[in-house]
Structure 1
Amino acid sequence: MACASTALIVGGGIAGLSAAVALARVGVQCDVVELADASGGASLALSGRATEALDELGVYDACHARSTPFAAGTTASHQRDAQGRLISEGPQRPQWPGAKTPLGIHRPVLLEILEEAAQRLGAKVYRGVTTQTTVEDDDGVSVAMTDGHHGRYDFVVAADGIGSRTRSRVFPEAPKPSYAGQFSFRWMLSGPPIDGEGWYIGPEGRLGFYHLPQDLIYVPAVIDLPEGAWLTDKDTLAHFARLLDSYTAPAVVELRRRLTPDADLIARPFEWILLAAPWHRGRTLLIGDAAHATTAHMGMGGGMAIEDAVVLAQCVATTTTPAQAFDAFMERRYTRVATVVETSVAMSRLEQEGAPTSRNMALASDAFKALAQPY
């Protein structure tokens, strides 16, 4: 029997909705509040044990049906130079009996699947709403919401992202997120597939692409930019076009041909944070990017958020108090997510230093070996 019966989840992204599903499956009634009225974003890859976490949530099959599976032999992690010549087949990713196939999935699709699963299990999702005041006592947490309604919960899960207001309130001494020295560009492109998916490394930065269902192509890219850079839509298009122009690989030339002034481009600084343990104070626990946001160099940020949710539910189901559950959660999560954050930031620094690709692949391979262990 779970050590709690009610929980408030602040944030309706990947971490928050995964937590709602996982906790509901062990008997916890969850309310989820999310300021955004609708979900957005580009695509993400889910690999390693994260796909097992999806399966534990009961949504892997639904995700698989609406994603791009990265079966054995895929070129999605291959590294090529600006001319398209193969540099590396990518980091070594250990396999184990029964391992689930990695997936590339459109973020809004994943959130839709998770929200539907949460609601089927009885969770309530409130959009355009967040917490206003929180008062904790020995028996629980009383919360007033920005839409005027009130709730009483056994504990609160803060899954409100890298800019977490809950983190600022509960951990006022916590550091601010750090800029890694690079910008992430993401382009969701409609149209027929292009041969040669994988990663390309050139003088202006690196980019990759893979296909998604419904004639979508996801193109992530990374370039170095000084701290404090701020990009308008015009700046974003100019930087991205310059990056594409620096390649002669046929696949990238075709991507450049399809780039138009109204392209669906998202540019964000790569920021990261690894909150010192523990990530809980009183009856509030931080998970996902609120506690351990990372750059995307390992492609494991979303996967770590889903794992957080599953492990939290396991701990809630096997302990007698929320405090014990939170302690057990920290024992299992800190080292694992630190591996992802620290390795990703180190890979970012090596890229900026112009280090050989082999050094980054070695770092990533060592980290993937550690992450192959069960969560």
Structure 2
Amino acid sequence: MSAAKKVLIVGGGIGGLSAGIALCRAGIAAEIVELQSEFNVYGVGIIQQANALRALDALGVADEAMRRGSPYGKVKMCAPHGFQFGETGTPPIGRFPSHNGISRKILHDVLYEAAQENGVVFRMGITVEHINNQPDQVEVQFTDGSSGTYDLLIGADGVNSKVRNLIFGQFTPRYINASVWRFAFPRPAGLETGYMYFGKKTKLGLIPMTADTIYMFVVSSEGEDNPFIPEEELVPRLKAYLEEYSAPFVQEVLPQITDPKGVIYRPLETLMTPAPWYKNRVVLIGDSAHATIPQLGSGAALAIEDAVVLAELLEKESAISSVLEQYMERRYERCKLVVDVSNTLSEWEQMEWKGLPLPEGANMGALMGKTLMVLTQPI
């Protein structure tokens, strides 16, 4: 029987909700504190590859995510004018397809509903102020003046994690000289799967989210200064990047980009916290431990897997210290691989955009394929 009877989760995003569901399903009381007073999900869409669906199935929500999302096969890789020269994505795993596209808000709703059904306790509008992290328990002071004592604290509060900074010290995410632009559209007739187009200075993806909607992402290099772009420049700059893409699907949605408030722009940052991701009774999951850029579409998947593995170990093993050691053994190398390969792919992309030769033996397709195959392996 687990020594963890009561667990505090800091952060109510994808990783935090997944941890709450997994813990309650394992018979462990879970409480989530979320800084926002109400959920206002940022972003447009998300790609769930087969390994992400497998992890969601362990939470009992994979079928609902696919029902509300849009399952599809491998992504077609194309030239700017639409010629297909390859495909990418994890192979199907059992009954799970290569991908499921879904709105971030819909995925959050699916997880939130499951968390409520499983008995997760939510405290909105507060977070941790002080953590007294002891070998046998963790005492927490919250920002509303209240306090609590827990067997374990899970930091799931993102790339700028307050939990990480309080317990492990200051680790600053690294901007990788690239940014991503996203915009949602009605789904064009005939778009049956995901598409990725490779231009001279950018790459562009069209990803199904539901039966009726898709989102576009564009990855660009905005220089070395992590630039802020004023709202009035978002639409013209995004459209300028799209000028070289004559592919029919891109041309069909291009005229719909008119509202700058619909453009979701974000500089890309990466972080790999050194091992171990735990100290006494505090442990990190998801972006608080390993924030990755979207080159492999695996950031959310890794957070969900972290939650599933941690809860599985807590249910089976009585000693929390042993659980956390095993958690690191099962998660560190897998997560580091995704972070490192994603960074390498981004570096190679930017070299190509600058007209520089790639390192000898560099092969983006082969590296992506090899890494995605690793992700099909059991977690």
Common topology (TM > 0.5): yes
Q: CA deviation at 1:98?
A: 4.6
Structure 2: give runs of 5+ residues left out of the alignment: none
Q: CA deviation at 1:245?
A: 1.6
Q: Which of 286, 291, 295 is the equivalent residue of 1:288?
A: 286
Aligned to 2:173: 177
Residue 337 of structure 1 aligns to a residue in which SS?
Answer: helix
Give, in whole Å, the separation in 2 of the partners of 1:3 and 1:100: 37
Give, in whole Å, the separation in 2 of the partners of 1:193 and 1:186: 17
Give, in whole Å, the separation in 1 of the partners of 2:347 and 2:327: 30
Residue 364 of structure 2 aligns to a residue in which SS?
Answer: helix
Q: Which of 112, 116, 120 is the equivalent residue of 2:113?
A: 116
Kindly provide the CA deviation profile for residues 49-105 of structure 1, in whole angstroms up to 9, marking residues without a partner as x: 2211111101111111100001xxx3x6111111111122235x3445454553111
Aligned to 1:39: 40
Q: CA deviation at 1:194?
A: 4.8
Give, in whole Å, the separation in 2 of the partners of 1:241 and 1:46: 27
Alpha carbons of structure 1 residues 52 and 199: separation in structure 2 relative to 1, 3 Å: same
Aligned to 1:152: 149
Counterpart AA for 2:364: N
Residue 297 of structure 1 aligns to a residue in which SS?
Answer: helix
Q: In the alignment, is residue 359 of structure 1 matched against residue 363 of structure 2? A: yes
Q: Kindly indicate whether the alpha-carbon contact (under 8 Å) linking 2:11 and 2:157 is maintained by their aligned counterparts in 1.
A: yes
Aligned to 1:349: 347
Aligned to 1:18: 18
Give, in whole Å, the separation in 1 of the partners of 2:93 and 2:39: 37
Q: In the alignment, is residue 48 of structure 1 matched against residue 46 of structure 2? A: no
Give, in whole Å, the separation in 1 of the partners of 2:196 and 2:157: 31
Q: In the alignment, is residue 372 of structure 1 matched against residue 376 of structure 2? A: yes
Q: Kindly indicate whether the alpha-carbon contact (under 8 Å) linking 1:181 and 1:227 is maintained by their aligned counterparts in 2.
A: yes
Counterpart AA for 2:27: G
Residue 45 of structure 1 aligns to a residue in which SS?
Answer: strand
Aligned to 1:249: 247
Give, in whole Å, the separation in 2 of the partners of 1:188 and 1:128: 29
Structure 1 residues 152-161 or 134-143, which shifts more?
134-143
Residue 289 of structure 2 aligns to a residue in which SS?
Answer: helix
Give, in whole Å, the separation in 1 of the partners of 2:104 and 2:25: 23
Q: Kindly indicate whether the alpha-carbon contact (under 8 Å) linking 1:39 and 1:111 is maintained by their aligned counterparts in 2.
A: no
Residue 264 of structure 2 aligns to a residue in which SS?
Answer: strand
Residue 241 of structure 1 aligns to a residue in which SS?
Answer: helix
Counterpart AA for 1:39: N
Q: CA deviation at 1:210?
A: 2.4
Q: CA deviation at 1:277?
A: 0.8
Give, in whole Å, the separation in 2 of the partners of 1:304 and 1:151: 29
Q: Kindly indicate whether the alpha-carbon contact (under 8 Å) linking 1:194 and 1:251 is maintained by their aligned counterparts in 2.
A: no
Give, in whole Å, the separation in 1 of the partners of 2:103 and 2:145: 34
Aligned to 1:167: 164
Q: CA deviation at 1:273?
A: 0.6
Residue 302 of structure 2 aligns to a residue in which SS?
Answer: helix
Structure 1: give runs of 5+ residues left out of the alignment: none
Give, in whole Å, the separation in 2 of the partners of 1:82 and 1:100: 27
Kindly provide the CA deviation profile for residues 130-177 of structure 1, in whole angstroms up to 9, marking residues without a partner as x: 1112223343112122223322110100000011111111111x5311
Q: CA deviation at 1:222?
A: 0.2
Aligned to 2:60: 58
Aligned-residue RMSD, C-alpha: 1.8
Alpha carbons of structure 1 residues 192 and 364: separation in structure 2 relative to 1, 3 Å: closer
Aligned to 1:218: 215
Instruction: Calculate the TM-score normalised by the size of structure 2.
Output: 0.92
Aligned to 1:30: 30
Structure 1 residues 346-355 or 130-139, which shifts more?
130-139
Residue 277 of structure 1 aligns to a residue in which SS?
Answer: coil
Give, in whole Å, the separation in 1 of the partners of 2:277 and 2:269: 19
Residue 295 of structure 2 aligns to a residue in which SS?
Answer: coil
Kindly provide the CA deviation profile for residues 258-286 of structure 1, in whole angstroms up to 9, marking residues without a partner as x: 11134511111111011111001111001
- In the alignment of these two chains, the number of paired residues is 367
Q: CA deviation at 1:3?
A: 2.5
Q: In the alignment, is residue 204 of structure 1 matched against residue 208 of structure 2? A: no
Q: In the alignment, is residue 67 of structure 1 matched against residue 62 of structure 2? A: no
Q: Which of 311, 320, 326 is the equivalent residue of 2:309?
A: 311
Q: CA deviation at 1:319?
A: 1.6
Alpha carbons of structure 1 residues 89 and 313: separation in structure 2 relative to 1, 3 Å: same
Give, in whole Å, the separation in 1 of the partners of 2:121 and 2:240: 45
Residue 267 of structure 2 aligns to a residue in which SS?
Answer: strand
Counterpart AA for 1:212: M
Q: Which of 84, 87, 109 is the equivalent residue of 1:86?
A: 84
Give, in whole Å, the separation in 2 of the partners of 1:255 and 1:202: 17
Counterpart AA for 1:285: V
Q: Kindly indicate whether the alpha-carbon contact (under 8 Å) linking 2:234 and 2:260 is maintained by their aligned counterparts in 1.
A: no
Kindly provide the CA deviation profile for residues 92-121 of structure 1, in whole angstroms up to 9, marking residues without a partner as x: x34454545531111111111111111211
